[in-house]
Amino acid sequence: MWGLCVGVLVVICIVTHWVYRWRNPSCNGKLPPGSMGLPLLGESLQFFSPNTSSDIPPFIKQRMKRYGPIFKTNLVGRPVVVSADPDLNYFIFQQEGKIFQSWYPDTFTEIFGKQNVGSLHGFMYKYLKNMMLNLFGPESLKKMLSEVEEAACRTLQQSSCQDSVELKDATARMIFDLTAKKLISYDSTRSPENLRKNFVAFIQGLISFPLDIPGTAYHKCLQGRKKAMKMLKNMLQERREMPRKQQKDFFDYVIEELRKEGTVLTEAIALDLMFVLLFASFETTSLALTYAIKLLSDNPLVFKQLQEEHEAILERREDPNSGVTWQEYKSMTFTFQLITETVRLANIVPGIFRKALREINFKGYTIPAGWAVMVCPPAVHLNPTKYQDPLAFNPKRWEGMELNGATKHFMAFGGGMRFCVGTDFAKVQMAVFLHCLVTKYRWRPIKGGNIVRTPGLQFPNGFHVQIAEKDRRKREPGYRTIH
């Protein structure tokens, strides 16, 4: 009996010590304030908890109020310093590859692949970035402009034949088909397998609690990735066996690189890159575009300004039926302001992760080597000391400002050397789609449009709208157009 009591006491002491060490991590200096949450779980449940606010996420806002703009926490078993401080954010981005390097939780690596571009560093990252610029750089986009416009017009025309259309799904399909065509010459109308369907399953569990059990969203996410990767691998193998002679796509470029003697590119890296490009190009852009149209539906004065800009473009054309030119695209000043304001409010990326390569001291706090750091864009974009009435949709606040990269107060497309390569591609697609929409069509919301953040932006009930061509416009009230 006495031995049992001693054993229980020893276990209690060990557990108590372990819990104490969990809650009070060792540090050579002063850690930022905060809570490490429950052992093993940390504060993951609170972080992933859904909310319907357009404001700074409650998880972040509550801790900012209690601890300040720099605080510690633990997410999915990893100690993390969360930064809502513009100076620390800027410092992190500027020291990429020196003091910090890109890092994401193990669950992210599991989802996007161990060789994904977000997990690669140094020369390998720069090498892949140059590959991507061959596809998404300005010179390539100039040649792609007519294809983007054709895709937008086709989507809108098809949508106008339906009683209502779910906008997020329609724009995601449009962008995915266009990107897949440019990357791998994929044609959804001719392929026996539906590549996009696997990405939809993947996305539904992307930002969910990482529990890999059949039936969970995370498990479905992993299965979606597995099936999509199998399709991509088979397509790459077929292309290697039967090279094409016509216009080359990104797959052809990859195959050429793989054949070079001493190449640093591997098939695994190429496939993970393809997967990430397909995901990033259509999911984030379609969310931003859907959110922009919802904001326009709720703000008629902003819509009027947008339509006036695009009607003026048509009036200046010698041939009103000609396509959008690169000069016209670059002249869409208010449209770019609207896109910037949309992504500021959307905060599609709720956190940008880095890892400290060595111990860092900043503003009196110590960030231990090996700890993760999460830059929090929503806290920056919705800061009332920087943005007057930060929750208001006001594109004019960007008047006279030209953003070609990230700043201390704007980082919707990342920052530093990892500033999103596809930024210009996303802007082209959004601007051209809006041009086609407001000059040729009118729309009205039917149902949905409510947002949920988990912590990323979602439309749980979709955003259903009715679209009509202007020359066949209906007389019912509620359509977005200028009378």
**pLDDT tens sequence across 317-357:** 988 778 999 999 999 999 999 999 999 999 988 888 899 99
Average pLDDT of the chain to the nearest whole number: 83
Neighbours of 228 (CB within 10 A): 23
Query: Which of 243-257, 281-295, 350-364, 428-442 is the least confident region?
Result: 243-257
Neighbours of 123 (CB within 10 A): 9
275: confidence class by pLDDT, cuts 50, 70, 90: confident
User: What are the structural domains of the chain?
Assistant: 26-114+348-381 (3.30.43.20), 141-185+282-344+391-483 (1.10.630.10)
Closest CA to 43 of 65, 60, 67: 60
Taking the C-alpha atoms of residue 69 and residue 383, their distance in angstroms, rounded to an integer, is 11
Give the whole-number percent of the chain exceeding pLDDT 70: 80
Position 252 scores a pLDDT of: 81
The strand pair at 372-375 and 78-83 is best described as parallel
Q: Are residues 410 and 344 in contact, defined by beta-carbon separation less than 8 angstroms?
A: yes
217 vs 389, residue with greater confidence:
389
Position 103 scores a pLDDT of: 80
Which residues, other chains included, contact 41 with Cβ-Cβ below 8 Å and sequence gap of 6+? 77
pLDDT at 169 over 80: yes
Position 86 scores a pLDDT of: 92
Position 198 scores a pLDDT of: 67
Q: Is 27 annotated as a binding residue?
A: no
This prediction has a pTM of: 0.87
